[in-house]
Every structure is written in structure tokens, then in C-alpha cells.
């Protein structure tokens, strides 16, 4: 019987967040449920296309990204209502980081500094709220380097802060002997949502329920295996499969010591307390959406390097309050933003 194709657009070059996918591929778990899976790493085109764009254009079956990507797509009528079907991690392991030697020891001290941004719609204003919640003005410079080089801008002193995954860049810094200050969003009154989540096109929800549940069944087994095994064993299998899938990826991008250290840091975040992978809690989605609306971040204008009057503005203008109109609370229906249905179907098959 022919295998069904599934293409997954990764949110970053392969790293420990993705270990369950590569384990499932290496151990034949996808083939066992009738799937042929391919992974698109953003290094293939230097991140010219985001996972959301690839899924919207149906170049990829599934994509990875933060919760706010879904909110953004649901607030723009011309875009498809992408739907999250699983979270990779049960806790937010991201932070805003500065070099300890910079002397920037708390968010309020980012006023007047340079923040290396991914150029996302809500990112700069979330950082601004963190600074303000710590007693600062939220007045800083937002620079937008090439996405895959953002971490380097911090290390090289070209930026004073950036958003990192503590379980990846944080571990890389520790290995290199670079001391960081890491500011957790939750410590400054920001109930940040799941990141990354796995999402798909609404047409896929309607047409491919069996394929989605089979993919999640195999992926959940991959993450459960990685969570149970020693970090060394999981690292070796992950690296072997990554090399096979992405032979053009530089070896230093996925160094064995970093992957092992990273897995040790995050492996307890893969599974929920009941031992299952992927489940999303309604309270987490509701808290983040409500916060975005209450704080005035959920607005109509989008970000653009080439703004269109009445539609989009620059990142600087967004932070300065030129944000368009508020998006009504009922315009984004969480029932259409995420679902655990396919995880539940997958568990029924296991």
C-alpha cells in the first residue's frame, strides 16, 4: 500500500524541540501508520518563507510556530484560519536574554537599547510591555537581522537583547562559557502561550482527519521515546536522522554536546503529567488571548517593511501606538484556533 505524503515546515533549523519528529522517522513510526514524512528546514532558503506561509500556500501539510501566529492569521480575513493541533512543549521555555557582561540585569534597563527582532507582528510590543511592567518606558530600538543570524548579533554585541529558547541558545551559551541574564515573560505579568505549536490548513482539518491523527500518533510515540531514553541515546538517534534528512546542514548547527545538553534541559517538558504528548490546555490559550486584547496588542495593522496605508505599518510605528483598530473579542474564536481532537483520535488508535 502506498504511503501518504506529509510535509512539515520547521520553525528553526533542526534542534531538540524537534526530537520527537526525527525519532519517529528514524524508528519507522511514520511508515508504520502509512505515512511518508519530509521536513523542511528554514536553512534551505535562509528563512525566506515562514512555516505559516508554506502551510497557507499548501507547500507544507503542517507547520511550527508560536501561538500568536494563529491569532495573527485569524485576524486577517484574506488569510486562511490556520489551526493548531498539538503543542511540542508543555511549558514556555523561552526568555528575553542579555549578556551578563552588558550590565543589563532587568527588563527596565532595555530602554534605549537595541533588541534583535524576528520582525513578528506582536513581538516588539510584547517586549515593550515586559519593559513597562518592570518600570521602564518601553522605548528601545528594534533591529531586524537575518533570522538565522539573530543569536550571533547578541554574542557579537550588535544587539543588547533578543528572544531565545533557553533550552537551545541558553544551553549553547552555557557550553561556550557565556553568561546570560534571562527574563521570563511570566515573571513580568505576561501569560505567554504555547510555543511552538503544530498547525495545519483548515482544508486539511476537513479532508485529512485520518492522516492527521496517524501523524500525531507516531509523533507522540517519538516524543515519549525521547523522554524515556538517556539523553545520549536520544541525541545519537536524532543526529543520525538529521544528517540523513538534511545533508547540507552544517555540523556545528547541531553539535552533539549542544543537543545532549538541550535534551537534558527540556526532556521533562515534552509530556504532560499524565504521560501524554501534545495536549493543549484551554486556560493557556484563553489567558494569552485575553492578555493580548486587554493590553491593546490585538489590533488590525500588521507589520511590513513596505507599509500600505490603512493596512500595515513599520515595527517602530506599532510600538509607538499606530496600530489600527482593536480586534473585537468575539472575532477570534478559540474553538477555531486550536483543537485536541486529533490527539484524542490518535490515542484511541494506540
Whether 305 shows a pLDDT value over 80: the answer reads no
Look at residue 212 and tell me if it is in a domain.
yes
**Structural domains counted in the chain:** 2
Last residue of a domain, one of 130, 154, 188: 188
- As given in the structure block, the three cell numbers for residue 314 are 513599520
172-206: per-residue pLDDT in tens? Answer: 999 999 999 999 999 999 999 999 999 999 999 99
Do residues 72 and 339 lie in contact, with contact meaning Cβ atoms separated by under 8 Å? no
Whether residues 182 and 205 share a domain: the answer is no
State yes or no: cis peptide before 196, omega within 30 of 0.
Answer: yes
Q: How far is CA 273 from CA 109, 141, 216, 277, 343, in A?
A: 37, 41, 18, 9, 16
Whether residues 264 and 343 share a domain: the answer is yes
Whether residues 242 and 343 share a domain: the answer is yes
For 9, the 3-state DSSP assignment is strand
Whether residues 84 and 216 share a domain: the answer is yes
Q: Residue 263 has what pLDDT?
A: 97
Whether residues 77 and 105 share a domain: the answer is no
Look at residue 328 and tell me if it is in a domain.
no
Last residue of a domain, one of 188, 214, 244: 188
Whether residues 71 and 213 share a domain: the answer is yes
Q: How large is the average pLDDT for residues 300-309? A: 83
266-302: per-residue pLDDT in tens? Answer: 999 999 999 999 999 999 999 999 999 999 999 999 8
199-218: per-residue pLDDT in tens? Answer: 999 999 999 999 999 999 99
**Which of 302, 44, 241 lies closest to 9, judged by CA?**
44
Look at residue 46 and tell me if it is in a domain.
yes
Last residue of a domain, one of 188, 223, 239: 188
Q: Residue 209 has what pLDDT?
A: 94
CATH of the domain at 211: 3.40.190.10
- As given in the structure block, the three cell numbers for residue 102 are 552588558
223-280: per-residue pLDDT in tens? Answer: 999 999 999 999 999 999 999 999 999 887 889 999 999 999 999 999 999 999 999 9
CA distance 270 to 227: 7
Host domain of residue 234 = 4-90+194-280+337-349
Whether residues 114 and 134 share a domain: the answer is yes
Amino acid at each position: 500500500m502506498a504511503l501518504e505524503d506529509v510535509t512539515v515546515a520547521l520553525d528553526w533549523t533542526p534542534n531538540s524541540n524537534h526530537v520527537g519528529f526525527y525519532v519517529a522517522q528514524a524508528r519507522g513510526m511514520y511508515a508504520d501508520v502509512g505515512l511518508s514524512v519530509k521536513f523542511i528546514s528554514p536553512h534551505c532558503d535562509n528563512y525566506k518563507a515562514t512555516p505559516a506561509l508554506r502551510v497557507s500556500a499548501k507547500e507544507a501539510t503542517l507547520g511550527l510556530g508560536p501561538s500568536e501566529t494563529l491569532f495573527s492569521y485569524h485576524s486577517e480575513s484574506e488569510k486562511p484560519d490556520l489551526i493548531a493541533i498539538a503543542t511540542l512543549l508543555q511549558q514556555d521555555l523561552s526568555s528575553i536574554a542579555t549578556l551578563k557582561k552588558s550590565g543589563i540585569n532587568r527588563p527596565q534597563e532595555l530602554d534605549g537599547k537595541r533588541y534583535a527582532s524576528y520582525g513578528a507582528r506582536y513581538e516588539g510590543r510584547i517586549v515593550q510591555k515586559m519593559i513597562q511592567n518592570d518600570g521602564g518606558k518601553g522605548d528601545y530600538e528594534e533591529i531586524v537581522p537575518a533570522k538565522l543570524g539573530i543569536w550571533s548579533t547578541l554574542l557579537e554585541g550588535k544587539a543588547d537583547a533578543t528572544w531565545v529558547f533557553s533550552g537551545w541558545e541558553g544551553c549553547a551559551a552555557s557550553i561556550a562559557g557565556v553568561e546570560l541574564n534571562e527574563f521570563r515573560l511570566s515573571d513580568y505579568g505576561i501569560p505567554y502561550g504555547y510555543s511552538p505549536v503544530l498547525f495545519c490548513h483548515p482544508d486539511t482539518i476537513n479532508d485529512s482527519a485520518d492522516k492527521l491523527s496517524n501523524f500525531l500518533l507516531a509523533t507522540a510515540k517519538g516524543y515519549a521515546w525521547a523522554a524515556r531514553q538517556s539523553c545520549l541515546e536520544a541525541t545519537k538517534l536524532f543526529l543520525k536522522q538529521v544528517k540523513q534528512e538534511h545533508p547540507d546542514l552544517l555540523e556545528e548547527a547541531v553539535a552533539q554536546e549542544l543537543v545532549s545538553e538541550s535534551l537534558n534541559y527540556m526532556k521533562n517538558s515534552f509530556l504532560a503529567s499524565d504521560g501524554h504528548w501534545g495536549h493543549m490546555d484551554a486556560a493557556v490559550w484563553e489567558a494569552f488571548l485575553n492578555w493580548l486584547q486587554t493590553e491593546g496588542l490585538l489590533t488590525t495593522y500588521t507589520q511590513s517593511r513596505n507599509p500600505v496605508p490603512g493596512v500595515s505599518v513599520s515595527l517602530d510605528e506599532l510600538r509607538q501606538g499606530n496600530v489600527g483598530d482593536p480586534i473585537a473579542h468575539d472575532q477570534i474564536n478559540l474553538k477555531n484556533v486550536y483543537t485536541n481532537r486529533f490527539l484524542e483520535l490518535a490515542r484511541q488508535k494506540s
